[in-house]
Amino acid sequence: MSSRTELFHRKFRRNNPYVTQGRNLAAIVMRILAVLPTLTMWTVTAAKADLPLTGQAVQGGLLIGTAPMTSHVTLDGEQLETDGAGRFLIGFHRDDSQAQLLQIQSDDGSTQAHIITPEARDWDIQRIDGLAQKYVTPPAKTLARITSDRDAVQKARQPTLRSTQLFETGFRWPVSGPVTGVYGSQRILNGTPRQPHYGIDIAAPKGTNVIVSAPGIVTMAMDLYYTGWTVIIDHGLGLSSTYSHLDGVSVQAGDTVLKDAVIGVVGSTGRSTGAHLDWRVNLGTKRLDPKIVAQVLNADELQKAE
For residue range 158-174, what is the model confidence (pLDDT) as tens digits?
A: 888 777 888 889 999 99
For residue range 95-140, what is the model confidence (pLDDT) as tens digits?
A: 999 999 999 998 888 888 889 999 999 988 777 666 566 555 677 8
Is the predicted pLDDT of residue 16 greater than 60, yes or no?
Answer: no
Calculate mean pLDDT across residues 214-234.
96
Kindly state the percentage of the chain with pLDDT values over 70: 77
Name the least confident of 32-46, 185-199, 281-295: 32-46
Which domains can be identified in the chain, with CATH numbers?
3-116 (2.60.40.1550), 125-305 (2.70.70.10)
Q: How confident is the model at residue 21 (pLDDT cuts 50, 70, 90)?
A: very low
Calculate mean pLDDT across residues 8-30.
44
Is the predicted pLDDT of residue 157 greater than 50, yes or no?
Answer: yes
**What was the pLDDT predicted at 111?**
86
Burial call 19-37: b when 16+ CB within 10 Å, e when fewer = ebeeebbeebeeebeebee
CA distances 222 to 185, 255, 259, Å, are 26, 14, 22
